Amino acid sequence: MKNRLILVYGRNDYLVKKKVAKILEKKGSSLEKRSFSSQEIKREDLNLFQSSLFASKRIFLFGEAEKINEGLWRDLKGTISSLEEDIFIFYSSEMKRNHFLIKEIGELGRVIQVKDSFEEISQLIEKEFERRGKKISLPALKYLLQFSQDLWSLECEVEKITLYYSRKKEISLKDVKDYVSLSPVKSIFDFLNSFLSERRKETYETLLQVLERNSPISAFYQLSKRLQLLYEVKMLLKLGFKEKKIAEKLKLHPFHAQMLLKEERKVPMGKLESALKKCFEVEKKIKRGESNPRQALLRLVSDI
């Protein structure tokens, strides 16, 4: 069972899925594949795995494997044992190290822990700068990666740096040092995350800290852009688009698209439309000089 029962887990969703893709490529792209959400699968669904006498080898994929409980695993284990030709791949970016499935699958099959690769993350961030028409020097890139190994945070930093240096073609070490803080002070990303999670008090307090080191225009731009992207993702989902097509349509990195798909579930469409409308009104007032950007942003966060 070593080669047909596999668990892939790690902290980085993008890198975990990339590893799964490599395994699928190695196992054979021509095999029939079936994907399941571990959160939704039930005991009565196990008959879906049964095959006829003349069925070809199949690959079963289980995302969000951390949601599998011990009772379901007992049933799944019996099914896996009975299907001697099929391949079962479980994967998760939320699984803790003490999860029972790591030990269980480790005894029967293979467990692969995906660790963040400095080289791989470096290449991804370089591509993000290139996508925005910029280059970044190697010293600047190394300094930036001291700030975080989290792709979402890094992509937001790339956005901020390219916004500040819109006229420069290459980002230097000095540029990055000027705009990336290595201190534990709350960042623009903490503000956006608490805002989307509707933690009002935390959002307001975080924004005050953010405005000590960032211009209100930059913070407002990041907020309105993220809300706009979430709105577009929701609309594309309604039209039946899948993750890969959404990334292509919005010209997003696959990891960025994955994060937005997770976030859009947190914000109802009505709230999102209301927030975007208020952002538009605030933007008009700022451009006309009718409102102080800092005060307008603080009021906006209080009202939404």
pLDDT in tens, 20-44: 888 888 877 677 777 877 766 776 6
- For residues 30 and 156, what is the distance between their CA atoms, to the nearest angstrom? 38
28 torsion bin: left (phi>0), alpha (psi -120 to 50), beta (else)? left
Local confidence band at 85 (pLDDT 50, 70, 90 cut-offs):
confident
Phi-psi region of 198 (alpha: psi -120 to 50; beta: other; left: phi over 0): left
The Cα–Cα gap between 93 and 108 comes to: 21
pLDDT category at 262 given cuts 50, 70, 90 is confident
Q: What CATH class does 183-304 carry?
A: mainly alpha
Rounded Cα–Cα distance for residues 213 and 68 (Å):
43
Q: Is the model's pLDDT at 54 over the cut of 50?
A: no
Q: How confident is the model at residue 9 (pLDDT cuts 50, 70, 90)?
A: very high
What is the per-residue burial (b if ≥16 Cβ within 10 Å, else e) of 38-73? Answer: beebeeeeeeebeeeeeeebbbbbbbbbbbbeeebb
Give yes or no for residue 53 having a pLDDT over 50: no
pLDDT of residue 252: 76
Q: Whole-angstrom Cα distance, residue 186 to residue 135?
A: 27
Superfamily of domain 5-114: P-loop containing nucleotide triphosphate hydrolases (3.40.50.300)
What pLDDT score does 7 carry? 96
Least confident of 6-15, 41-50, 61-70, 280-289: 41-50
Where exactly are the structural domains of the chain? 5-114, 116-182, 183-304
Question: Selecting from 3.20.20.70, 1.10.8.60, 3.30.10.20, 3.40.1190.20, what CATH number does the domain 116-182 have?
Answer: 1.10.8.60
Query: Is 183 a residue whose pLDDT tops 60?
Result: no
State pTM to two decimals.
Answer: 0.51
Summarize the confidence of residues 165-194 as an average pLDDT.
Answer: 70
Region 242-262: mean pLDDT is 80
